[in-house]
Structure 1
Amino acid sequence: MKTYTLPDTNEKETVVQNMFTSAATAYDINNTVLSFGLHHLWKRLTISLLDIQEGNTVIDLCGGTADLSLLAASKSGKTGHVLTMDLNFAMLRIGLEKVKAKQSASKEKCSVAIVQANAEFLSLRDSSVDRLVVGFGLRNVSHLDAALSEIYRVLKPGGRFACLEFSTPVNSLWRQMYKFYSFALLPSIGKIVSGDQTGIYEYLPASISRFPNQETFCSMIQKAGFREVSYRNLSGGIVAIHMGVR
């Protein structure tokens, strides 16, 4: 299996943004193909656990194509507000198209706004957000501690944070099978579906393998100031939902 070298911290933002710009058009279909459709179930469960209430202000950080935003909007209702925040313009453009399609289909205003933003420097007031969710995005930021600090800052006291992210399978055999799929098969399938030549489908499994495991990430969330920190493994730990309360 070919070894992929992750970009260093100083180059990471530029490299990753170029990759996601190239992959944006095929991103949703590749998510479905590569996860065998499971990402839809994972996202619905994450939003359910976030306990969004009618009228809540919700941030979908690193929200890209707005899947989680649309699910959150169905919970926050007509009086709520959902912001899809992502640094990548091409991904946000796909998200905006989906929001407009949802609005057209329902004949009602969809309470989702699209905002280009860096997860490490959020242009939001302190304690201004009821709920914040991140789906498969925090491993792409250059400084994870800075992003967690910003998430904590913008949430209201009692506000809830949920992070859906690829993690470490709990069974050693399952771990080896997942590693083979991620590094040997996923890059080839991703390239075939998307036609991408930037290396994003080599980058993704490499970035997953470098992301903190469940317990380590819990410790980082606690260090950022959150309480009631917990996680829930899905699909044998291939994915985990981490939760915390401000």
Structure 2
Amino acid sequence: MFTSAAKAYDLNNSVLSFGMHHLWKRIAISILDPKPGQTVVDLCGGTADLGLLAKERVGPKGIVATVDLNFAMLRIGLDKIRSEQGRSGMGAVQSNAEVMAIRTSSVDRLVVGFGLRNVTNLDVALKDIYRILKPGGRFVCLEFSTPVNPIWDKLYRFYSFAILPLIGRVVSGDKTGIYEYLPASIAKFPAQERFKGLIEAAGFRNVAYRNLSGGIVAIHSGEKPHGAV
């Protein structure tokens, strides 16, 4: 499905979110707070939007790796990286989010945007994120969530299941059903408090979340404790 949607993925993100995804991603990177010279993983990063934003923060001596399972999405991301004056210190890794091909305790920051709801086992993915982070490293997840106002929630669900698939198919020409799958995957993803509990259960501390756009999306964050293995 993501192979079919890759070429129109960025355009559909802008159309379907009314351009809001750009703001959401910038806020997520602000919360991630990557420092100059650090190593950052953009997990499930596909077209590298978050990776490119992180690279602005870590500077020329920092390293950013966009990690995704889907090669077609990564190829779009690599094209964007190359078009940004080469973006030295950036690269792509094709890898499963549940068993990442990345050394233990080697990453300062990890960000994932709209991707964890696609993994097979969320608990396993969170534990592998914890594994690759250095002690004191920070994890940030930007994901669609549960609107806090019941009326807003009903309107959002109507848009997600009735309007979004139609627009997505028209813009992308997709015939795989990805734009029916996406709202269904959002509906199944844990709500804010439950997801916070899963992050804590994986070992993270100082876990918190911030609702954006009335809870349509939430940014979750946590830290690997200093002294952790």
The TM-score bracket by the shorter chain reads: over 0.9
The share of aligned pairs that are identical, in percent, is 68
What aligned pairs does 1:160-171 form with structure 2 within 5 A after superposition? 160-171=138-149
From 93, 98, 104, the equivalent of 1:120 is 98
What aligned pairs does 1:1-40 form with structure 2 within 5 A after superposition? 19-40=1-22
Give unpaired runs (5+ residues) of structure 1. Answer: 1-18
Amino acid in the other structure paired with 1:83: A
From 190, 194, 197, the equivalent of 1:219 is 197
Q: CA RMSD in A?
A: 0.6
Tell me, in whole angstroms, the C-alpha distance in 2 between the residues paired with 1:146 and 1:65: 24
1:161 to partner: Cα distance: 0.2
1:124 to partner: Cα distance: 1.4
Tell me, in whole angstroms, the C-alpha distance in 2 between the residues paired with 1:200 and 1:125: 32
Amino acid in the other structure paired with 2:81: V
From 158, 164, 168, the equivalent of 2:136 is 158
Q: Deviations over 1:32-56 (max 9, x none)?
A: 0000000000000000111100000
Correspondence for 1:9? none
Tell me, in whole angstroms, the C-alpha distance in 1 between the residues paired with 2:85 and 2:123: 36
1:126 to partner: Cα distance: 1.2
Correspondence for 1:180? 158
Correspondence 1:88 to 2:70:
yes
Q: TM-score, normalised by structure 1?
A: 0.90
Tell me, in whole angstroms, the C-alpha distance in 2 between the residues paired with 1:47 and 1:71: 7
Tell me, in whole angstroms, the C-alpha distance in 1 between the residues paired with 2:150 and 2:89: 43
What aligned pairs does 1:38-49 form with structure 2 within 5 A after superposition? 38-49=20-31
From 29, 36, 46, the equivalent of 1:64 is 46
Correspondence for 1:236? 214
2:84 match: secondary structure: helix
1:112 to partner: Cα distance: 1.1
2:190 match: secondary structure: coil
Correspondence for 1:148? 126
Tell me, in whole angstroms, the C-alpha distance in 2 between the residues paired with 1:175 and 1:217: 18
Correspondence for 1:110? 88
1:75 to partner: Cα distance: 0.3
Task: Indicate if the aligned counterparts of 1:73 and 1:110 stay in contact, CA closer than 8 A.
Answer: no
2:194 match: secondary structure: helix
Tell me, in whole angstroms, the C-alpha distance in 2 between the residues paired with 1:182 and 1:122: 31
